[in-house]
Structure 1
Amino acid sequence: MTDPIVVGVDGSGRSLRALVWAAHEAVLHHCALRIIHVLHREHVYASTPAVRAREASSRDRGVVAEAAAIARESHPELEVMTDLPTGAPAAVLLTESEHAHTVVLGAKGMGGFGSLLLGSVALQVVGHAASPVVVVNHLATGHRRIVVGVDGSAHSRAALAHAFQEASLRGAQLQALHAWSYPGPEAVVSAVRDAAAEEHRQSLEEWLGPLRETHAGVEVVEELTHEDPILALARASDRADLMVVGSRGRGGFRGLALGSVSHALLQFSQCPLAVVRPSLRPVPD
């Protein structure tokens, strides 16, 4: 059975945008949608599901019920599951990610998931989740383009594989963007700069080659740019339905397991941002 798309909701407008995006993704991937709302800390020590249910406020239940109703109304064929788990939000989401196709979060909210986006909890989730994590700041549709940041690292290769899969599923164009800078003065001899640019172009071709063969139907546009990758990717996100980048995971639960580029794009991406780590789960035979 395909793992579900998991979305965290808190009743805010931005978390509802995440819900809308997650529901559409679940339909696209032919999997269930799992809606979760983490209860406040006073419920953390509820010993049984019955106690937890009694302590959950009417608002908490209402948030989940409203989200489920919106998803079912938009996609009557979609299997929708809900839960009101207790615990520390980061720990709950990381546990959910172990059995999720993707975890989806809103960019900001009224407490709970969204408002923690730029705090330690959400950064831990984005940096350490076992599944891809998509942060929905702005909904974007109609471009039929997915942008992926590429630099040849293990995390970038995982992002590239994810982006090819998503582009193939959507029938979308894939824009592979590699931003680089020459380690020398700006007035360097043109021939040297040209040689460096050609070396980067060849590297990009090598990274793309195997995935182009396995996803022959995906139109790929290569973009090499001599500028800061944050600026280049943020600009490209304005013309994309989804942006995919790698996370610089260092293992463990503590710490911020994000590189500066993926961290900055959490704020500046103009479309949903998928952050991908190399898979820690065994690949089926």
Structure 2
Amino acid sequence: MTDLIVVGVDGSGRSLRALVWAAHEAALRRCPLRIVHVVPSEHEYAATPEGRAWEQSHRDRGVLAEAEAIAKDGHPGLEIDSTRPHGAPSAVLLAESEHARAVVLGAKGLGGFGSLLLGSVALQVVGHASSPVVVVNHVATGHHRVVVGADGSEHSQGALAYAFEQASLRDAQLLAVHAWSHPGPPALVSAAQDAEAMERRQALDEWLAPLREEHPGVEVMEQVTDEDPVLALARASDRADLLVVGSRGRGGFRGLALGSVSHHLLQFSQCPLAVVRPRPRRTAA
């Protein structure tokens, strides 16, 4: 099954916020929700191996039971599946991403899915997942706006397509931001810089054109600015329900899974952040 939303939970408040976001996303898409709680290899609550196993088993079942109850309460008709796999959280979630429309994580947790926002688990999942990964730190609603960063790269094209889909799904306005840092003092504006800004605006129009045709009902706003992309997108996220970026842009080194812009926005975004990687191309048999 590939038409589902996967969410990682660990009982923390932030993972429950991710659960609420994921349940709403699944309800919007009318697809199943899969709740995943990875069972840790060790636990410190009991002194004996038998006691640790018993207490951990009951705690994990409680985490899943609570998560299922919250999701069902918010969306009574939602199809929900839950699982408690053993293993490394990043490996489990990366495997889940191969069959999901999106993987949703809380920004921080109790030690399973994101004990550190920029720790190895979060970075591995965001940087290597087959599906988009949505990191829920601040929950924002009511803005009716999706913001997407665009730079013309392959990853950016994937982000644009996902952002248009999200805006259409949510009946929201789409703000496409193309920002770049120009060398030299920003106060010195030259004719050459004016010409560059015009070229960049035309490029943004070209990147957006086919998606505008595909989603004619989406209202699109454009922002082209000579500004650090992280600052521009973080500022725009303060007035958005969702921020969408590609996992890497034009400025990254080939082979790196996560670019500096998406990496920094994991920390600075003021709304849920969707990081999109291009789907792997399937080779003909």
Stretches of structure 2 that go unaligned for 5 or more consecutive residues are: 44-52, 250-254
Measure the CA separation in 1 of the matches of 2:171 and 2:2. 21
Residue matched to 2:195: 195
Aligned residues: 269
Counterpart secondary structure, 2:148? strand
Is 1:88 the counterpart of 2:88? The answer is yes
Hey, what does 1:234 align to over in structure 2? 234
* Residue aligning to 2:168: 168
Q: State the Cα distance separating 1:181 from its structure 2 match.
A: 2.8
Cα distance in structure 1, aligned partners of 2:270 and 2:29: 23
Hey, what does 1:37 align to over in structure 2? Answer: 37
Secondary structure of 2:67's counterpart equals helix
Residue 192 (structure 1) shift:
1.2
- Structure 2 vs 1, CA of residues 232 and 106 (structure 1 numbering), >3 Å: closer, same or farther? same
Look up the match of 1:213: 213
Equivalent residue for 2:14?
14
Contact 1:182 1:196 in 2 (8 A): no
CA deviation after TM superposition for structure 1 residue 117, in Å: 2.9
Provide the C-alpha distance between the structure 2 equivalents of 1:228 and 1:238, rounded to a whole number of angstroms: 16
Shift of 1:248: 2.2
Please give the alpha-carbon distance, in whole angstroms, between the structure 2 residues aligned to 1:61 and 1:187.
59
C-alpha distance 35-200 of structure 1, shift in aligned 2 (>3 A): same
Structure-1 separation of matches of 2:186 and 2:176: 25
CA–CA distance in structure 2, aligned partners of residues 67 and 54 of structure 1: 20
Return the TM-score normalized by structure 1. Answer: 0.89
For residues 139 and 29 of structure 1, what CA distance do their matches in structure 2 show?
Answer: 19
1:1-285 equivalent positions in 2, closer than 5 A: 3-42=3-42, 56-184=56-184, 186=186, 190-248=190-248, 257-280=257-280, 282=282
1:13 Cα offset (Å):
0.5
CA distance in 2, matches of 1:281, 1:26: 26
User: 2: distance between equivalents of 1:242 and 1:20?
Assistant: 14
Q: TM-score, normalised to structure 2's length?
A: 0.89
The equivalent residue for 1:50 is: none
Q: 1:65 aligns to what SS in structure 2?
A: helix
Q: Note closer, same or farther for the CA distance 1:12–1:187 as it changes in structure 2 (3 Å cut).
A: closer
* 2: CA distance, partners of 1:202 / 1:270: 29
- Residue 2 of structure 1: how far off its partner (Å): 5.4
